[in-house]
Amino acid sequence: MSTHEKKTFDQVYSYADHYSKLPWAHDHPSRFIDEIAASQPSGKVLDIGCGGGTDSVYMAAQGWQVTALDFVSKALEMTSQRAAEQGLTVATIEADIITWKPTDRFDLVLDHGLLHNMDAVRHSAYREQLMQCMVPGGDFVILHWLQRTPDEAQGEFGPTRASRQAINDFFAPELQEQKFEFEEYDGLPESVGGTMAQAYYWFKRG
């Protein structure tokens, strides 16, 4: 991410003394990954922008070989702490997904809110890296704020919104949507739009 983005996230993490105190903390795994874990034999999973490690640790508990990647060192410390509390091991890598040089390919890639926090000028590089990381037939699960109508405004701050069609177009033709769900939230600060919908996508690579 850009220097400005990194400074912003470093600051957010500096305010949290535990993974449960992060603004985006969630106790349950992201949508669809429990279904993937239940239906497939264990494999290799890459969690990009792993944050507090919820998804990484969940997949490790299901017997998957997990690599957690983040450009904030404290995020990786929290992920390792969370794994250790459950007697699990998660490999951690401190890197920017855009400049990281992967040496392996993964059966499942997770993005719980990285792309929608990234500058638009870096999106094409993100996409290229994603394709390099995924095996043919692999799965990709992403959380992204949803633009519900064409005239729904972006917030002054916070993640960007994108329509379902825009997300599908961005990852086509290599990735095909398997499932889509969203949930709506009200009462948010006006600086982030006051209301938003959080969308979950499950894609499969052809």
Task: Inform me whether the pLDDT recorded for 14 exceeds 70.
Answer: no
Mean per-residue pLDDT over the chain, rounded: 89
Q: What CA–CA distance (Å, rounded) separates 42 from 184?
A: 32
pLDDT of residue 1: 54
Report residue 27's pLDDT band, with 50, 70 and 90 as the boundaries: confident
SS3 of 118, please?
coil
Q: Who contacts 121 (Cβ-Cβ below 8 Å, separation ≥6)?
A: none
- Asked if 66 contacts 47 with a C-beta cutoff of 8 angstroms, the reply is yes
pLDDT of residue 24: 56
- Asked if 88 contacts 57 with a C-beta cutoff of 8 angstroms, the reply is yes
pLDDT of residue 13: 58
Task: Please return the burial class of 47, using the count of CB atoms within 10 Å of its CB with bins 0-12, 13-18 and 19+.
Answer: buried
Q: What are phi and psi of 168, to 5 degrees?
A: -60, -40
pLDDT of residue 127: 98
Superfamily of domain 3-12+41-195: Vaccinia Virus protein VP39 (3.40.50.150)
**CA atoms within 13 Å, Cβ hemisphere of 171:** 24
User: Helices 73-85 & 3-14, crossing angle to 10 degrees?
Assistant: 40
Q: What CA–CA distance (Å, rounded) separates 93 from 4?
A: 21
65-83 pLDDT per residue, tens? 999 999 888 889 989 999 9
Quote the radius of gyration of the chain (alpha carbons, Å). 16
Return the HEC string of 29-97: CCCCHHHHHHHCCCCEEEEECCCCCHHHHHHHHCCCEEEEEECCHHHHHHHHHHHHHCCCCCEEEECCC
123-181 pLDDT per residue, tens? 999 999 999 999 999 999 999 999 999 888 787 777 899 999 999 999 999 999 999 99
Instruction: Provide the whole-model pTM.
Output: 0.87
